[in-house]
Amino acid sequence: METTKPPLDQIQTHATQVLDYRLNIDAEYQGWILIFTTITCAWLFCLPCYCAGMSSPSARKMASWMSQRLPYFYTFMTLFNVLLMYLVIQWLPDWTFAQYVAVLAKSAGWAFGHVLKWATSLAMIIAFGVVVAFKERIALMLGLDHKQLFNCKAKDCLNCWSTARFKPIELLIWKVEDLASSDLFHANHVFVEAYMGYNETMRTRVHNNAGSDCILKESMQLNFDEDDDEEKLFLFVQNQKVMGAQELARVEISSTAVKKLLKDSDKLKGPQQILQWDSNCFPTSFPLIPRGQIWITAVPVEDEYHGYAELTGC
């Protein structure tokens, strides 16, 4: 069936009905409607940033599409917001567009006039927000990203500081390769430091004149909370010097990766249920930063488990 366009006078009639419509509500609620509409219009200008931060792939794809056409997006959004504000103000019987612009200008002038009084508080709020948002990067810059400053979390208070959730594990370090040289005229004296949750700092012995590759064959035992997804294992490959030590490389291993190592350890044992210092029992290597590789695995510690005694090839 062929459709026909409505006549021009009918379109004008509908437009007149839309413009002549009025909301029959109190003046107080009309002001709240204007405030909400103003905030909505301001939020629409931030739509590309909002969509980019969403977890939905469609939203991120839409944000990428809008970011490539920002001049057209802001032009369209400006016209849309002006039309939206005009219609909302037109529908409110106690407001006109001129009154809205005057109130907006008065509010902006009042805010700028009192901004100096709020400057200190605003600076503190902004600084607090920056610290919270970038706390991990700030800790990394200060060299405190691997430190457990307070051995207490909210879950400790909830379970009356019980340590039953911690399970002992043994971390086995086979070797490191392709390390950077700390000194042009001396070979690296290599040892490894381990940090994990509430555990104290653990260190291997120093392997003198190891150079860029070092067979470590070291073992250390740690307490591990498998239900804490935020717990991480930090390994630092260090070079011992006359005074102190110098970091050669580091790696950050998530709790999920540690649990995978524990799960796979039973599959890696030989026929006699013995782990060996070879590539069969250490199939996974972790890339070091800024360069190098480290081969490790982890096994659960049982009452009858005697640690190093179950490793051959020592």
212 has pLDDT over 50: yes
* Range name among 45-59, 193-207, 287-301 with the lowest pLDDT average: 45-59
pLDDT of residue 309: 43
Question: 182, 188 in Cβ contact below 8 A?
Answer: yes
Q: From 204, 196, 215, 201, select the one nearest 257 (Cα to Cα).
A: 196
Q: What are phi and psi of 127, to 5 degrees?
A: -65, -40
Mind listing the pLDDT tens digit for each residue in 99-117? 888 888 888 888 777 777 7
Whether residue 238 contacts residue 180, with contact meaning beta carbons closer than 8 Å, is answered with: no
Q: Return the pLDDT at 174.
A: 92
- pLDDT grade, residue 304 (50/70/90)? low
Map out the domains of the chain as residue ranges. 8-113, 167-312
Average confidence (pLDDT) over 305-314: 48
H, E, C per residue of 202-259: EECCCECCCCCCEEEEEEEEEEECCCCCCCEEEEEEEEECCCCEEEEEEEEEEHHHHH
pLDDT in tens, 142-199: 666 656 656 666 666 666 666 677 889 899 999 999 888 887 788 889 999 998 888 8
Higher pLDDT, 75 or 138: 75
CATH architecture of 167-312: Sandwich (2.60)
pTM comes to 0.52
